Structure 1
Amino acid sequence: MLKKLIAMQKRIMDTAKAEKRELNEGEQRDFNLLQSLIDNIRSEENNGQGNAKPTENQGEQPTEPEGARQFDTGYSANDAAQITSLCRSFNVDATEYLQKGMSLDSVRAAIIDELMNRQKPVSSHIQVTDDEGDKFRRAATDGILLRYGVSVQNPSEGSNIYNGVTIREIAIECLEREHGGQDFRHMNIEDIYSHCYREFYNPTSAFPSILDDVVKKSYVAGLQKQKTQFDKWVGVGSLPNFKKTTNHEYLMSLGGELEQVKENGELPAYTPVDVPMPERQLKTYGRQFTMTREAFINDDIGLLTTMPQRYAALSANTQNKLVYQILTQNKKIYDGKALFSAERGNTLQKGTKPTIESIERMIYLLGMQKDEAGDQLMLMPDLFIVPLGMGTDLRTILYSPTIHTPENTQAVNPYLGMNFTVVEDTTLNAQVKAGNPVPWFMGVKGETIQIDYLNGQKEATIRRSEQAGKLGFVWDVYHDFGITVKHPQTIIRNPGVEIDMSE
């Protein structure tokens, strides 16, 4: 029971600590009540009393409390006195407990249960309200974002006051709020910088907290502006750590077919196909950026909005680039063979631009793909990936009501109404040397390549750098992800043609 009470106290303290505040009135009251119970138990343990019946050698007994004699429940005067005294300590009426003839331990347990109900969760009965410091931080953050053109939904009250102030003025207000009585307004900018720099590694300080919020919200705004295309067709997964992971979940099928089972026969077990499996593994990609001492003195607070947005672009573009390199570089994958080859039957031998004939040929190659056991996969495409400059030709073929036949007549377009996703990405153009043909692809969305993120976190982590020593405020930006080819059977390559968009 003693451990239970101490654990409840710890829960109260941990909640307040996590919210970076002192115990409020309700929490302090509960903490003190718990401490009274703890002291009561420890006192009994030290005196060796517990619930033992008093003996003649134990000295004079406590005076029987008023009202205790009215209950003929077999209590000794000492037991009734202890129960009544315990209840009085916690502002609880002892009448019900005495009428029921409950033991001291039972009464103590009932009081603990009552306290626990008040602590589910510890602060559930407390309405946490923002203090002036919280309101100031949000208003200053939104004011800076609005000043530099970052969209803010439902700006905080008072943000308009801060959308024109300098970084020096924000720093002064932060310092004055946390160090009342000091005159910061008449300090030179170098001294103010020194104070803010010392506060930068303090997790509860307002100034770095405002800078952090500006940086993180600017990063998210930057992600929303990105035009990368890879996420429209790759699969997405999650890994819990950086270990290499190989499993059979990447098999396109189990191979074979269901077997007939005779009456009273046994169901045959499935044995996984013994073939190479893709290895999934995370890597870390990242950089740092700094708001330098010079930028602080020059009031270049715009760095806090522009740099995170650039890093958001770097993160998205890095993933985009790595994904398309797999398609254009055609390197060996997990089974020791090139991703596209005549052996796999997933590439045309002669490149073309999008035509009815080339699309039909690619659909045929996709439909003929087999699983690791040699059985037909019967795949149907729902995805085209083309370089900039081929999208118009492809969409014309896919979405025109009619097509022109070899007999010089018009016929119903067989592809009209099919649910194709067309991804037109200039990254393909950029990764091929000028004058060379640019490939394009047909496949099954979400099956060819997968990006795994650490614990599913698709956005980069941004945090204040823990490495002091630089003249400025430093943030680390890093992202944990890994890119794996899952099923080479699900994509067909057309080597393409040279794209000449010159006049």
Structure 2
Amino acid sequence: MTKITTIRDEQETNAQGMADALLHRMAPTTKLTENGQRFRHMTLLELARESLEVEGLNVRGKDRMEVAALALQSRNMGTSDFPSILANVGNKRMRLAYQQNPATYQLWARRAADLPDFKSVTAVQISSAPDLLRVNEDGEFQYGKMQDGAESYSLITYGRIVALTRQAMVNDDLRAFDTALAGFGSAAARLENRLVYAQLTGNAPMADGNALFDAQHKNAATGAGSALGLDALSAMRASMRQQRGLQSETLNIAPSFLIVPAALEQDAYKLTSANYTPSRFADVNEFREGGRSSLTPVVEPLLDNVSATQWYAAANNGQVDTVEYCYLAGTDGPVLETWNPFNIDAMNMKCRLDFAAKAIDYRGLYRADGK
């Protein structure tokens, strides 16, 4: 009986080991595999020479600049093609930096279904759902319809390009490579955060012609009584409770998040702490952890750029829409693309982010000027 055993291609094994070793050099907290151990002490140029030799290219006698140029211009289809190795490492390093920079908007905003293209999409609000009606004796159900809130948005593409030159390879300038990739990941996370919070601070008009936070929407407070405190929180809660849907139905929305600038961080944590006792014995702090209207504090320094006194509240986005965000289908965050231009000895790296954020419904959002 003949036994057939599939042995992993040496080229693929080497490519994965080189990628593991490079990623570990840039991010030492990542696990270094046994395969990667073989390459951990190699410089970029030594890895490039090894990759070219495995591909079957004769680089004996070639100087350092020639090897670097060949490695960057290699277009073999094998998985050990050096630009492919760098692209593999680049994507992993960028994603690691992206994940290490969590944005506060993810605590309260809702991720919507990813969009298949860049066409404008209209969001149907949760608050537009019709009330249920009693079924008559004949068992006949009555038709209802969703009132279209008409809030629409579309994806926007953001990005930048940097290059890994053959000079950087010869100099083993892995720090510059790492800095660019980590910078891409961190920048993408910061950009998403800015775009979502811009929905609050920008106070743009909604489909009904009124600003997101407006007297007509009954979700904005001004004057001395709006300063962050128990009385102001009580007024916010009452306003949100009394909001009505598109068909005038009572929604009974409860606030879940207290969103504040860094200047109000101490006050926010004090008001939501289980250990906080109001100054008046007759008062009860229902906004504390475990209280009947407990609030989760969210501190965002971006808000300080607009106002050190303004604060916001948001309902749970499972109860009513607030702000939603999404990506292009199949991306889920920043994407790194690489290519080797014919006219220069370098590998270009392009970071692209397809992202959208939009305030969908004002009923679950509230803003107080704090002064």
TM-score (norm 2): 0.89
Q: Given the alignment of the two structures, is residue 211 of structure 1 paired with residue 86 of structure 2, yes or no?
A: yes
Seen in structure 2, the aligned counterparts of structure 1 residues 240 and 227 have a Cα distance that, compared at 3 Å, is: closer
The alignment covers a number of residue pairs equal to 362
Deviations 1:458-485 (A, max 9, x none): 2212122375434311122112121121
- Taking the aligned partners of 2:6 and 2:222, their CA distance within structure 1 comes to 68
**Aligned with residue 178 of structure 1, among 55, 59, 74:** 55
**Aligned with residue 334 of structure 1, among 203, 207, 215:** 207
Seen in structure 2, the aligned counterparts of structure 1 residues 335 and 421 have a Cα distance that, compared at 3 Å, is: same
- Taking the aligned partners of 1:149 and 1:258, their CA distance within structure 2 comes to 55
Partner of 2:26: 148
SS state at 1:369 partner: coil
SS state at 1:450 partner: strand
- Alignment check: 8 A CA contact 1:172 1:185 kept: no
- Alignment check: 8 A CA contact 1:218 1:306 kept: no
- Taking the aligned partners of 1:234 and 1:288, their CA distance within structure 2 comes to 30
Q: Given the alignment of the two structures, is residue 481 of structure 1 paired with residue 345 of structure 2, yes or no?
A: no
SS state at 1:489 partner: coil
Partner of 1:220: 95
Q: Counterparts in 2 of 1:232-247, with a 5 A limit?
A: 232-237=107-112, 238-247=114-123
SS state at 1:390 partner: helix
SS state at 2:262 partner: coil
Q: Given the alignment of the two structures, is residue 301 of structure 1 paired with residue 174 of structure 2, yes or no?
A: yes
Q: Equivalent pairs: percent with the same residue?
A: 24
Deviations 1:160-183 (A, max 9, x none): 342332111111111111125x2x
Tell me how large the CA RMSD over aligned residues is.
2.5
Seen in structure 2, the aligned counterparts of structure 1 residues 247 and 147 have a Cα distance that, compared at 3 Å, is: closer
Seen in structure 2, the aligned counterparts of structure 1 residues 388 and 203 have a Cα distance that, compared at 3 Å, is: farther
Seen in structure 2, the aligned counterparts of structure 1 residues 205 and 353 have a Cα distance that, compared at 3 Å, is: same
Q: CA deviation at 1:265?
A: 6.4
Q: Counterparts in 2 of 1:449-464, with a 5 A limit?
A: 449-455=323-329, 457-464=331-338
Partner of 2:152: 279
Partner of 2:165: 292
Amino acid at match of 1:381: P
- Alignment check: 8 A CA contact 1:388 1:424 kept: yes
Partner of 2:310: 439
Deviations 1:441-500 (A, max 9, x none): 111133311111112632212122375434311122112121121111101101135xxx
Query: 5+ unaligned residues in a row in structure 2: which ranges?
Result: none
Amino acid at match of 1:358: A
Seen in structure 2, the aligned counterparts of structure 1 residues 370 and 468 have a Cα distance that, compared at 3 Å, is: farther
Amino acid at match of 2:51: C
Q: Given the alignment of the two structures, is residue 427 of structure 1 paired with residue 302 of structure 2, yes or no?
A: yes
Q: CA deviation at 1:136?
A: 1.7
Name whichever of 276-285 and 483-492 sits farther off: 276-285
Partner of 2:15: 137
Seen in structure 2, the aligned counterparts of structure 1 residues 411 and 131 have a Cα distance that, compared at 3 Å, is: same
SS state at 1:339 partner: coil
Partner of 2:287: 415
Amino acid at match of 1:160: Q
- Taking the aligned partners of 1:348 and 1:259, their CA distance within structure 2 comes to 36
TM-score (norm 1): 0.67
Partner of 2:231: 357
Partner of 2:45: 168
| The structure with more helix, counted as a fraction of residues | 1
- Alignment check: 8 A CA contact 2:222 2:370 kept: no
Amino acid at match of 1:392: Q
Seen in structure 2, the aligned counterparts of structure 1 residues 299 and 345 have a Cα distance that, compared at 3 Å, is: same
- Alignment check: 8 A CA contact 1:464 1:475 kept: yes
